[in-house]
Amino acid sequence: MDSTDLTHLQRRVRWAYELGRLRRALLGVAPVLVIVAVAACVAHRPVSTLWFGLATVTIGAAMLWYGRDPQKAVLPGIAAGLVPLVFALCANHMHACGANGCSSLCVPACALGGVVAGLAVASVGNQRKAGPWFWVSASSLALLTGAMGCACIGYSGVVGLGVGFGAGMVPGLLRRAFGEKST
Amino acid sequence: MRTESNTLDALMARLADGDRAVFARVFELLWGPIHRLCITLLKNDADAADAAQEAMQKILERASDYDKSRPAMPWAMAIAGWECRTLARKHVRRREVDDAGHEQSGEHPEEEFVQRNLTAAAIAALGELSEADRETLVATFWDEAASVSGATLRKRRERALDRLRKTFRRLYGLD
């Protein structure tokens, strides 16, 4: 085979490699579809849940296809995001009643879940001494997964999740910053 | 050779992780041995080129599934060997159909015919073995050290050869 044929073959093989990765990524992200379906069935606002779920699935698949740090962040990110998701879905069916009437527990549940998710992502990131792409990827997936449930009373739930998540990340980020300085 | 094998293992691991920068180098390192294996097995340049191309496509399509704890070359060779076997089988089948249709014999020199049949039979028998046995035998053929060496490799090779012999006997009734 001459070099032109080899270049052509290399291009064809590269395409096959990318398709192979894509197929694997779609298979890998399939369990998230089950989570999205369950969340949409339980949630009060299934349309928002489905939009956030679609974003989670698409970004998760893209990360798995791309590989490297983002690929390694998919599992910890989604696992961390399940905490605020479950908290929010449970809070959907509870409310606190006082003298002035009843209020939903969605925002506090999302904020608390966000703190736990932030702590979890930071802990895994520090444990693996991961690069910034891992932190960014895991955080975005955790937030998107959590947001599927936190859209329960509009976007204030999602804001609560974001604030909680940021607060949860602070100790991990500080440990990383000071750990790097000391070494 | 060992260094090249270690380099390929490391590059395959990076490619499995999604590091596209090493793609061209992996392609270069694999193409030569895969093409040579196909020529040896198929005894025909055109068929060998076809089989090697198909094999390269399959190997790199499965690059993400590559197990980093195992050597890359025997793994790739096993896929290529399988591809050659499939092509040889296809040709044997086509020849049988042609022979039945035209009732022609003696078109090819007898020696070549026997050689091709023997190769196809050996590849078919090889295909009946487990992937581990196939890898061991292909690695032996290419003098590639597998993940184990010394007595373990000898024992593994002996067992694989024994199983190949039994399979050959079962399929064709002779050694």
Q: Would you say the pTM of this structure is higher than 0.80?
A: no
Mean pLDDT of B8-32: 93
Range of the domain at B128: 2-172
Question: Of A13, A24, A66, which is closest to B60 when you measure between CB atoms?
Answer: A13
What single DSSP character describes residue B63? G
Contact B25, B11 (CB under 8 A): yes
Question: Of B24, B31, B61, which is closest to A16 when you measure between CB atoms?
Answer: B61
Torsion of CA A41, A43, A47, A48, to 10 degrees: -140
CATH number of B32's domain: 1.10.1740.10
Range of the domain at A88: 3-182
User: How many domains, chain A?
Assistant: 1
Q: pLDDT tens across B68-120, in order?
A: 888 888 889 889 988 888 888 888 777 777 766 665 545 555 666 667 667 77
Give the pLDDT confidence score for residue A164 in this predicted structure: 93
Q: Which residues of A touch B (CB under 8 A)?
A: 1, 6, 9-10, 12-14, 16-17, 19-21, 24, 66-68, 71
Q: Which residues contact A83 (CB under 8 A, 6 or more apart)?
A: A113, A116, A117, A120, A146
User: How many domains, chain B?
Assistant: 1
Cα radius of gyration rounded to whole Å, chain B: 18
Q: Among B168, B165, B170, B135, which residue's Cα sits nearest to residue B153?
A: B135
Q: Among B163, B87, B170, B95, which residue's Cα sits nearest to residue B123?
A: B87
- Highest mean pLDDT, choosing among B8-22, B93-107, B143-157: B8-22
Query: In which element (H, E) is residue A35 found?
Result: helix A3-42
What is the C-alpha separation between B110 and A79, in angstroms, rounded? 65
Give the pLDDT confidence score for residue A183 in this predicted structure: 56
Q: pLDDT tens across A150-182, in order?
A: 887 778 889 999 999 999 999 888 888 887 666
Structure ipTM over 0.85, yes or no: no
First to last CA, chain B: 33
